[in-house]
Structure 1
Amino acid sequence: MLAILEKSPDGYVVRFDRSFGHSAEALWSMLTENDKLSRWFSELEVGELREGGFIRFNMPDGSFEKLDILDLHPPSILEYTWGEDRVRFELYPEPEGCRLVLIEKLQAITAHTPKDLAGWHVCLEVVRLLLDGEEMPSRKEEWELWYEKYTRHVDAFLAEEGGQGN
């Protein structure tokens, strides 16, 4: 299922909504414990897990970008900066596990947006597989498949909006 893309007063909102057959606590640990976080997003590392704390986005050249934690309510809400944008994870316990809503607040839609959306899509599937004790055979192939779909999805959205992306 593709993410929902909507216009908002201050940009755009992308929403991924997924159900997991695992507890909110199990999913929370995937988002916040470095040994688990690195298994699905190797560039991310929690520096200080607190509101006002930070997450590091480790760059290939050895430098890092600091992502500020804006909102934190364990084990249900984690929000941090993502460049000029924001990423928010919301976890809702359900009888059969947990529902995860990933919200990305974008100031603008750019040529890079479909790449990011495909990346988040694949990351969420990798989290599911890891929690189920499985691995994704080829993240690159999976990403390429979803990148094509998100490119069409974003293009169609922009066409409906009158082509207002950057």
Structure 2
Amino acid sequence: MLATIEKQSNRHVVKYKRPLPHSVNAVWEVITTNEKLQKWMSNLEIIDLRKNGKMRFNMNDGTNTYEEIAITDYIEKKVLEFDWGTDSVRFELSSTDNGSLLLFAETLHELTQHTSRDLAGWHICLDLLTDLLDGIEHHSFPMEEWQQRFNEYKELLDSYKKS
């Protein structure tokens, strides 16, 4: 299922909802422990897990280059929000009768030509996260799936801009 996009004052909020048959504790661990986090988003590394803590976006290009990322909101086993360039990314977890609900939101200040690429990337990363919870580990990024999602998000953004 594709993400939804809505306008909120002068921003655009993209939301991905993932009902998961796993406990909040299991999902939280995959989001916040580097060993598991890097299996679905190899560029991210948590340095100081707390509100006003920090993360790194590693370029993974052999140069040991990274960008520091501020953690802007944190409630253990419930919320992890951090800066994403000029935008922000937020994970929210809640318990359900069948496991948990993961709500992932990216708040965008503007839609650019790169937005559909990013949305497709987040979609695939969330698929990889879900697979990891299900015991399936990917050793490479699925570019064919990303290309399909990119095309879908490009269409979604085109129709969103027209509305």
The answer, yes or no, to whether TM exceeds 0.5 is yes
TM-score, normalised relative to structure 2: 0.94
Shift of 1:139: 1.3
- Matching residue's letter, 1:85: D
Whole-angstrom distance in 1 between the partners of 2:68 and 2:14: 22
Q: Which residue pairs with 1:131 in the alignment?
A: 133
RMSD in angstroms over aligned alpha carbons?
1.2
Q: Which residue pairs with 1:114 in the alignment?
A: 116
Whole-angstrom distance in 1 between the partners of 2:122 and 2:5: 13
Q: Which residue pairs with 2:20 in the alignment?
A: 20
Q: Which residue pairs with 2:50 in the alignment?
A: 50
Shift of 1:138: 5.7
Compared CA separation, residues 108 and 130, structure 1 to 2 (3 A): same
Is the Cα–Cα contact under 8 Å of residues 39 and 137 in structure 2 kept in the other structure? Answer: no
Whole-angstrom distance in 2 between the partners of 1:39 and 1:12: 29
Q: Which runs of 5+ in 2 are unaligned?
A: none
% same residue: 41
Map 1:30-69 onto structure 2 (within 5 A).
Answer: 30-59=30-59, 60=61, 61-69=63-71
Q: Which runs of 5+ in 1 are unaligned?
A: 161-166
2:141 is the alignment partner of 1:158: no
Q: How many residues align?
A: 160
TM-score, normalised relative to structure 1: 0.93
SS at structure 2 position matched to 1:110: coil
